[in-house]
Amino acid sequence: MEAIKLEAKKRSVVGKQVKQLRSKGKIPAVVYGHDVASRSLEIEAAPFEKTFTKAGWSSLLDLAIDGAAPVKVLIQDIARHPLTDAVTHVDLREVKMTEKLTAEVLFRFLGEAPAVKEIGGIFVRAMDKVKVRCLPQYLVHEIDVDISKLKNFEDHVLIKDLAIPEGLELLAKPDEIVAGISKPISEEELKALDTAVVADVSTVKVEGEEKRAADAAKKAEEAKGAEGEKPAAAAGKSGK
């Protein structure tokens, strides 16, 4: 696989000043790693978005800082603006090719499930990704999941059913479900569900009305008791 390149520059701008950096189409970033001093960087926003689309979370990048010899990194974390979804910060993790690492790899679902096409089953993704451990050179962008064997209701693809790429250790239990087929909901079940919801709403309404009535009765009793105490208090005063 061809190396994916990412260029960056050392960054001296910090704190509130990074806002000006973003206004110029650049992203503040940091790169760090095991036994590696962290460095503040700035990256051009548009090229980074294209790089992330291609690399994802589990493809190695060749990071060149100020034109120096590249180092191998993974995209570790991305912060985005809550409204515009623009990238506001990037964390890069430098890796050593001789040390195992952990990363999350996405699943790629391939084929067509006969249970969906032929008997109306519902395809269910139980997992979208899995955590793996390996040497950096064995990382893959995606792990393929063949769903063409899902022929009947309640069929599943398990972790142990996957074709694991060379050098990759999946940090998941063998019997964990990756994908499966569930039965479609019948009209009778939908009607029963609607009836149950209406019944629940009615129950809540009745319980609410009963509680309000009970509260009103309690307040009325307390008011009567207060009125009954007033004459006794008055008599006490006149007797002094």
CATH at residue 155: 2.170.120.20
Whether 108 and 131 map to the same domain: the answer is yes
131 lies in a domain?
A: yes
Whether 64 and 40 map to the same domain: the answer is yes
| Residue 62: pLDDT over 90 | yes
Mean pLDDT to the nearest integer, 126-149? 96
Whether 138 and 205 map to the same domain: the answer is no
Whether the model clears a pTM of 0.85, i.e. scores above it, the answer is no
235 lies in a domain?
A: no
The rounded distance, in Å, linking the Cα atoms of 139 and 3 is 13
Whether 196 and 125 map to the same domain: the answer is no
Whether 87 and 14 map to the same domain: the answer is yes
Mean pLDDT to the nearest integer, 208-214? 64
Whether 52 and 92 map to the same domain: the answer is yes
Residue 222's pLDDT is what?
62
Q: Which domain holds residue 17?
A: 4-96
Residue 96's pLDDT is what?
94
SS3 string, the chain, reads: CCCEEEEEEECCCCHHHHHHHHHCCEEEEEEEECCEEEEEEEEEHHHHHHHHHHHCCCCCEEEEECCCCCEEEEEEEEEECCCCCCEEEEEEEECCCCCCEEEEEEEEEECCCHHHHHHCCEEEECCCEEEEEECHHHCCCEEEEECCCCCCCCCEEEHHHCCCCCCCEECCCCCCEEEEEECCCCHHHHHHHHHHHHHHHHHHHHHHHHHHHHHHHHHHHHHHHHHHHHHHHHHHHHCC
Mean pLDDT to the nearest integer, 64-77? 96
Task: Count the domains in the chain.
Answer: 3
Q: Which of 73, 96, 119 is the last residue of a domain?
A: 96
Residue 211's pLDDT is what?
64
234 lies in a domain?
A: no
